[in-house]
Amino acid sequence: MNAAHYHFTLGDLRLTVVSNGQAELPPHPLYAANATPQEVETTLERHRLPTDAYLLQCNALIVRSSERTVLIDTGAGRTLGEDFGLLSKHLRDAGVEPGSIDTGWWLIIE
């Protein structure tokens, strides 16, 4: 598993990538849903990648400035499985209280 969080800076911004979880899932239909299973397998083989499982890592980004704390998130929660839904815990582990976030941008996965 990757680190639950890591920090870096960009100019005056402090950014933190926070894990919501990860899991190995079948590559199709998650990866290239508009392709056939055979096309996905052929492409993965060509690039010497595993064809039986795809490691999906779901992360959120915290952007902190002197004025705001912004959460950019997929909004997946546990919709991708029981190995996900760890965002609140990992936010706290990274030193970010969920209540301190004043702006959020979400992309909802259905």
Q: Which of 41, 12, 7, 46 is nearest to 27 (CA)?
A: 41
Q: What's this model's pTM, rounded to 2 decimal places?
A: 0.74
Rounded mean pLDDT of the chain? Answer: 86
pLDDT tens-digit map of 47-76: 999 999 988 888 899 999 999 999 998 667
Mean pLDDT (whole number) for 9-34: 89
Query: Of the given ranges (6-10, 29-33, 84-88), which has the lowest mean pLDDT?
Result: 29-33
What is the pLDDT, as a whole number, of residue 54? Answer: 84
| Residue keyed to tokens 């991708």 | 80
What is the pLDDT, as a whole number, of residue 76? Answer: 73
